[in-house]
Every structure is written in C-alpha cells, then in structure tokens.
Amino acid sequence: MLGKIDSYEKNKGFGYIKSNYGEMVFLHITGIIQGDPKTIEIGQEVQFVIAAGVKGPQAAKVKLSNFE
C-alpha cells in the first residue's frame, strides 16, 4: 500500500500515514524497515502494509521514500 506521512513526532517515535485511499494508519518507529526515521518529513511518500497492533491497525514493513 502507498501513502504519505501525515504527522510524526520524532522525539516520541510515532505518527500517522494517510494512505492513497484516504485512510489514516498509525505508524510506530518499530514498523520502519527501510529508511532513517530521523529524516521523516510530513508529506514524504511511504510504502507499507497494515498489520494488527496493540490498539488496532497500524503500519508495518514501512519503507520511506526511494523504495523499489
């Protein structure tokens, strides 16, 4: 699934991705598998899958920009 970073708290390690379908998905730093979480910017494109999280659906296997 594709989307863009909607919000991200770098000091807390979490935020939200807005999918290309308009769905807001929780993002935790532990779900990032490619790219540097320290460089996350609002509007940055991401590729991800949705997985079951502790409090509901969340982004997993997140690849930040420049993904292939």
Interval 12-23: pLDDT, tens = 999 999 999 999
Weakest mean pLDDT among 5-14, 25-34, 49-58: 49-58
Q: Which amino acid is at 58?
A: Q
According to the model, what pLDDT value does residue 13 have?
95
The per-residue pLDDT of the chain, averaged, comes to: 93
* Residue 14 zone, left/alpha/beta (φ > 0; ψ -120 to 50; rest): beta
This prediction has a pTM of 0.89
Can you tell me the mean pLDDT for 37-61?
A: 94
- In the chain the first and final C-alpha atoms are separated, in Å, by 13
Q: Can you tell me the distance from the alpha carbon of 35 to that of 56, in angstroms, rounded to the nearest whole number?
A: 24
Q: HSE-up of 41 (CA within 13 Å, CB side)?
A: 5
According to the model, what pLDDT value does residue 67 have?
55
What is the homologous superfamily of the domain 2-64 according to CATH?
A: Nucleic acid-binding proteins (2.40.50.140)
Please report, for the chain, the start and end positions of each structural domain, with discontinuous segments joined by +: 2-64
